[in-house]
Chains A and B, each alone.
Chain A
Amino acid sequence: MTVAARSGHIEARDLTVRFRRRDAAATTALSGFHLDVRPGEIVSVIGPNGCGKSTMLRVLAGLIAPSVGMALLDGQPIHGPDARVGLVFQEPRLLPWRTVARNIAYPVELAGLPEAERETRVKELLHRVGLADAADLRPGQLSGGMRQRAALARTLALQPEVLLLDEPFSALDAMTRERFNVELLKLWERLGTTIILVTHSIAEAIFLGDRVVVLSSRPGHVVADIRVEVPRPRTLDRLDEAAVSATAREIRAHLEANEP
Chain B
Amino acid sequence: MRRSTLGAGLVGLAVFVTAWKVIVIVSGFPAYILPPPEAVGASLVQAWLDGTIEPHAAATLVEIGLGFSVGAGLAVVVGYALGRSALIARLISPYIVAAQATPILALAPVLALWFGPGLLGKVVISALIVFFPVAVSTMVGIRSVDAGLLELGRSLRASRRQVLLTLEIPAALPSIFGGLRIGVTIAVVGAIVGEWAGAQYGLGVLVNLARGSLFDTSLMFATLATIAAIGVALYLIVVLVERRLVRWR
Contacts and interface: CB of A to CB of B under 8 A. Distances in A.
B148 interface: yes
Given A63-B151, A91-B148, A93-B149, A110 B156 contact: yes
A110 B162 contact: yes
Interface string B1-28: 0000000000000000000000000000
A61 interface: yes
The prevalent SS among residues of B at the interface is: helix
A107 interface: yes
Interface in A113-164: 138, 140, 158
Contacts of B173: 97
A81 B248 contact: no
Contacts of A87: 155
B170 interface: yes
B170 A83 contact: no
Contacts, number: 48
Interface string B122-166: 000000000000000000000000101101111111100010001
A95 B145 CA distance: 11
Interface residues of B, number: 20
Contacts of A80: 157
Nearest to B248: A97
A81 B154 CA distance: 7
Interface in A66-117: 80-81, 83, 87, 89, 91, 93, 95-98, 106-107, 109-111
Nearest to A87: B155
Contacts of B162: 110
A97 B151 CA distance: 17
Given A95-B167, A97-B248, A110-B162, A89 B154 contact: no
A140 B171 CA distance: 14
B156 A107 contact: yes
Contact of A96 (B151, B154, B248): B248
B157 A83 contact: yes
A96 B152 CA distance: 13
Contacts of A107: 156
A97 B170 contact: yes
Nearest to A82: B157
A27 to B, nearest CB: 19
A177 B2 CA distance: 44
A95 B158 contact: no
Given A63-B151, A89-B148, A95 B170 contact: yes
Nearest to A83: B157
A110 B148 contact: no
Contacts of B148: 89, 91, 93
A195 to B, nearest CB: 17
Contacts of B166: 95, 106, 109-110
A202 B12 CA distance: 64
A158 B154 CA distance: 14
Interface string A218-254: 0000000000000000000000000000000000000
A141 B246 CA distance: 16
A140 B152 contact: no
Given A61-B155, A96-B248, A97-B173, 4 more contacts: A81-B156, A93-B148, A95-B149, A98-B248
30 contacts: A61-B155, A62-B155, A63-B154, A81-B154, A81-B155, A81-B156, A83-B157, A89-B148, A89-B152, A91-B148, A93-B146, A93-B149, A93-B152, A95-B166, A95-B170, A96-B248, A97-B170, A97-B171, A97-B173, A97-B246, A97-B247, A106-B156, A106-B166, A109-B166, A110-B156, A110-B162, A110-B166, A111-B156, A138-B248, A158-B156
Interface of B: 146, 148-149, 151-158, 162, 166-167, 170-171, 173, 246-248
